[in-house]
Amino acid sequence: MTDIVKIERLLRAINCPLVLGANRIAHGRVIEKIGDLNFSLTNVVPTPNQKLTLNMFDSKEFAYYMAGEANRFFLASMVSLNRSQQDESENISWQVVEHYYAAYYAVHYIIRAVGLSITNIDKSTMQTIVRSNLTGSILPNLESGLNLMKYDALCETITLEKKDKKGGSHIDAWAAWASVIEILLQQANTDIEEYAESAISLSEHLSFIKRSNDTFSPTVIRNEINYQFSNNAWCFDGLTGEKINRIRRAIANNSMILKDRGDMLENLICNNNFILTLAKKAFTSASEGNANSISRILLHRFRRKIATLA
């Protein structure tokens, strides 16, 4: 049995309090607004493993922007979850795809809460970063593009690691999620008496998410449904009434049976539900833990508009 309370407790130990506990948000993506923040470029590792280190003087402002990003992803997740619960006649393909996006947005919420973000740096933003150079060195030509942003709990040290062009925002997001699960699993294993069941759940989830060939099941299954019409998700491709009912029950009942069910779609839904439940618990804890937090304000503002927030 998956104990979300215990797993969220592990998650809380690695989160960024300034992001989850932010009492306001700033609108716009952090990387697009970085010119409005005070920071300096303090270290550069050139290509092919380009890595930039920034010292953020406006750590609270950075956290406000990141809180804005994170909470928009969470709300989008809850909207997509609500849409996934709407029956599509004799089809479940778009219910499953919508459920995938609900989990994908929830992943973006949680990784930002613990100090990770997948972000695209354009050329003008890179020029802004280069202008803050305090390394004392002449910089090589730095590449723009998709980066993994990492930041510490105080939002003071920021690193930007250039991602391989062979990846992609979905693949890199799931890779970041797998790294978070690995950290939680390590924590659980340090107190196995308390977290034995949690360690099993995390191991089962990680086994589903990350495949041995460095691909990620959620993205693979989503692509198979969208572009290959496989996994019997379409009414014209072998979909049965029994399967429709089983998948819809898993969505409606928030099933979190993480062991292999022998059906890719059911495995996807159950693992999505784990992510969604953890994200919702983290959001609720942030709301309850700080009466002035933006999460509490957003909860009250949207709970009537987004049924899945209730």
Contact status, residue 221 vs residue 264, Cβ threshold 8 Å:
yes
Are the C-beta atoms of residues 85 and 251 closer than 8 Å to each other? yes
Residue 165 confidence (pLDDT) above 90: no
Reduce the DSSP state of residue 162 to 3 states and report it: strand
- The per-residue pLDDT for range 115-147, each reduced to its tens digit, is 999 999 999 999 999 999 888 788 888 999 999
116 bridge partner residues: 150
Q: What confidence tens digit (pLDDT) does each residue in 231-249 have? A: 889 988 888 999 999 999 9
Is residue 302 within 8 Å of 309, Cβ to Cβ? yes
234 domain residue, yes or no: yes
Domains identified in the chain, total number: 1
Hey, CA dihedral for 259, 97, 79, 11, is it positive or negative? Answer: positive
Sort 106 into a burial class: Cβ within 10 Å, 0-12 / 13-18 / 19+.
buried
Q: Helix H segments across the chain?
A: 4-12, 17-20, 59-84, 93-113, 123-131, 169-190, 192-209, 217-228, 241-252, 264-289, 294-302
3-state secondary structure 191-227: CHHHHHHHHHHHHHHHHHHECCCCCEHHHHHHHHHHH
Residue 303 belongs to a domain: no
The residue written with tokens 């978070």 in the block is 180
- Amino acid occupying residue 33: K
45 within a domain of the structure (yes/no): yes
Per-residue pLDDT band at 91 (split at 50, 70, 90): confident
In a domain, 199, yes or no: yes
Which amino acid is located at 233 in the chain? A
Which pLDDT value is given to residue 153? 95
Report residue 167's pLDDT band, with 50, 70 and 90 as the boundaries.
Answer: low
**Residue 96, CA distances (Å) to 163, 187, 220, 232, 296 in order:** 29, 32, 13, 11, 29
Q: What residue numbers bound the domain in which 229 lies? A: 4-298
Residue 307: inside a domain, yes or no? no
Is the residue at 306 inside a domain? no
Q: Confidence class of residue 310 from pLDDT cuts 50, 70 and 90?
A: confident
Contacts of residue 106, defined as CB under 8 A and 6 or more positions apart, other chains included, come to 73, 74, 77, 275, 276, 278, 279
Q: What percent of the chain has pLDDT over 70?
A: 99
pLDDT tens figures, 13-49: 999 999 999 998 888 899 989 999 999 999 999 888 9
Q: Is residue 41 within 8 Å of residue 142, measured between CB atoms?
A: no
> What is the C-alpha to C-alpha distance for residues 16 and 264, in angstroms, rounded to an integer?
34
Tell me the C-alpha distance between 129 and 42, whole Å: 10
Beta bridge partners, 119, equal 147
State pLDDT tens for residues 170-221.
Answer: 999 999 999 999 999 999 999 999 999 999 999 999 999 999 988 999 999 9
Whether residue 18 is contained in a domain is answered as: yes
Q: How far apart are the C-alpha atoms of 122 and 47, rounded to whole Å?
A: 16
pLDDT at 166 over 70: no
* Radius of gyration, CA atoms only, the chain: 20
- Omega of the bond prior to 46 within 30 degrees of 0, cis? no
